[in-house]
Amino acid sequence: MTEIDRSLVLIKPDGYRRGLTGEVLRRIEAKGYTLVALQVTSATREQLAQHYAEHEGKPFYEPLLEFMSSGPLTAAVIEGHGCIPGFRSLAGATNPTEAAPGSIRGDLGRDWGLAVQQNIVHGSDSPESAAREITIWFPGIAS
């Protein structure tokens, strides 16, 4: 039997503003993943700096933090067999224009030109990232 994974999913401010939280959560549950924790929150600079620490110093870092703090977002912890690669596949390519039809970004994303970070969702990219990210957004939950 394979291990059950956990992943952090963020429905970014653009997705929240457009009323897509329910649709994203529906797709997560339809895929067979379980919602372990869920909250609507406004990100602090400290949370975002921790979350995006590997991008500090890159040209898109400050615009990314500005965008991610531009309004409420929905944070979720999901679990299931292979949920990390599974959700990333469900999310689709980072650039909504290149994301496949049927994916969250392919169906719901918009081309914002230079603002590729406005792509509706974030999902952890590895078990290590998931563990680190979950503690940032849900300090009381073990990954």
Does residue 115 fall inside a structural domain? yes
- Residue pair 122/24 in contact (Cβ under 8 Å)? The answer is no
Task: Residue 95: give the domain boundaries.
Answer: 4-137
- pTM for this one? 0.93
pLDDT for position 91:
97
CB atoms within 10 A of CB 15: 24
Does residue 143 fall inside a structural domain? no
Q: Quick check: is 122 catalytic?
A: yes
Average pLDDT over every residue of 43-52: 96
> Is residue 45 marked as binding?
no
- Which CATH number is 12's domain given? 3.30.70.141
Does residue 54 fall inside a structural domain? yes
Comparing 47-51, 109-113, 131-135, the range with the smallest average pLDDT is 109-113
- Residue pair 127/1 in contact (Cβ under 8 Å)? The answer is no
3 vs 17, higher pLDDT: 17
Secondary structure E strands in 66-119? 73-81
Does residue 28 fall inside a structural domain? yes
Count of the separate structural domains present in the chain: 1
Does residue 76 fall inside a structural domain? yes
Digit-coded pLDDT (tens) for 71-81:
999 999 999 99
> Is residue 119 marked as binding?
yes
pLDDT for position 117:
74
> Is residue 67 marked as binding?
no
Residue 47 CA to residue 69 CA, distance in Å, equals 10
Average pLDDT over every residue of 61-67: 93
Does residue 90 fall inside a structural domain? yes
